[in-house]
Amino acid sequence: MSALGLDKMIAVAGAGAMGSGIAQVAANAGHQVLLFDSVPGAALKGHQRIAAGLEGQVSRGKMTQDAADALVGRVHVAENLDQFSKASLCIEAIIERMDIKHTLFNEMEYRVGPDVILASNTSSLSLTALARGLKHPERVVGMHFFNPAPVMKLVEVISGAATDPAVAQITAATARSWGKVAVHARSTPGFIVNRVARPFYAEALRLYEEGCADPATLDALMVEGAGFRMGPFALMDLIGHDVNFDVTQAVFNAYHHDPRYRPSLIQQEWVEAGWLGRKSGRGVFSYAPGVDMPGPQTETLTVQGVLQPFDAERVQYEGVIVARTDGRTAARRACDSGKPVILYDAMTGEGGKRVALTQSPNVDASQWHGVVEKFQQLGLQVSRIKDLPGMVVMRTIAMIINEGFEAALCQVATPQDIDQAMQLGVNYPRGPFFWAQQFGCEQVLAVLDAIHEATGDPRYRASLGLRHAVDLEALQA
């Protein structure tokens, strides 16, 4: 299916940061755009927000003044929804409430022709429910942009039960013509990104609750050891714990309290305390003036300089088993082997600079310091963590991989679209299926099974999709 031509008008309902951003994207592609908001004066403010943002680009030399003026000139403030009758695609970007969105869809359908596409920018609500009761539910589709819309490349195109496949294809083609990467998803709670991203937050919160390490250390391990742009605690502080907790709770409720999406009690406490993150001045970290961010726990450096690239297989120490985590605790492996055990966490090959180590109780101080020095000789900062199953990076990545396989198994999206969505929607260094190939599905499954056995927590049950992938790997070997 072809994209909507530039002669087709685009209408956007909701002139907040997201709505005005979507309007800017469509106008930048060359469409005439209507921008409406039910709050008096809000659409004009949205128009002004677009103009102000472009002024910054002009001043930085990223856009000419003529191009900025032309773009702003293609965005028109709509006084009422009646003007939407001229549009070929109407996109709503209003408050995330089903009742209010549903009312808006009914009002838009009343004013536009039967062939006009009605799209929702919802990040979590059911497209099937939004389309219910409309005369033409087949033309309702999700068009989920990521904030800020002019910058973020991803658009999730969501099909509800009644969505005409042709409508989804036209919507995706239109998003691509606007310079976006469009991925298709079925309307299930969280779609792709908000579903597959849950373990990134959930495991960090759970590890903190279990006393694994402090938040700064857990963040540093995910950034310096796994290549993420931000650690989970810093990111939750940026998003806002109220927002993050509400999304987690919504996904948890939508999946009928599946333990995989269980909200965190400690995050609930932070919300109840008003520790919402940057916007409140305090979250996991303090953002008060003059307060420095805490640094990660790092073992005392005894080796100066980087001697060679990271190669954990070369780390050996007499009398101690040194091995990468396989999901079992160091104590469990010491019991199984009869020898002291020091475990190191996974690294994802993204230029890691930090690794977590943990030990069984029968490791003495000289053995610990000897192994730490071996890792320091490889140019790595070492953080000591509590002996918990799966450690930090491996446990988190394994859970993200598992959620990706579960989403693909349930035909939410293809593996390729899932990987693209996670990299472009939330800036992951890689997608779950890439990591599965890097670590090997058999190892990921072994890690999850070991954590599940150790904790008894059903949140760590392995997806049938992952188990099928292990069988396929074995047959192809």
- The residues annotated with a catalytic role in the active site are 123, 144, 156, 194
DSSP 261: G
Per DSSP bridges, beta strands 321-324 and 341-344 are: parallel
C-alpha 328/C-alpha 451 separation (Å) is 7
Distances (CA, A) of 58 to 51, 68, 181, 233, 327: 10, 7, 25, 35, 52
Contact status, residue 238 vs residue 278, Cβ threshold 8 Å: yes
3-class DSSP state of 468: helix
CA dist 67 → 63, 70, 123, 362, 413 (Å): 7, 5, 31, 69, 37
Residues 6+ apart with CB under 8 A from 1: 166, 169, 170, 173
How far apart are the C-alpha atoms of 247 and 263, rounded to whole Å? Answer: 9
Among 166, 162, 163, smallest CA distance to 174 is for 166
Strands of 154-159's sheet in order across: 75-77, 33-36, 9-13, 87-92, 117-120, 140-145, 154-159, 181-186
Cβ atoms 417, 296 nearer than 8 A: no
Query: CA angle 157-249-162, nearest 5°?
Result: 30
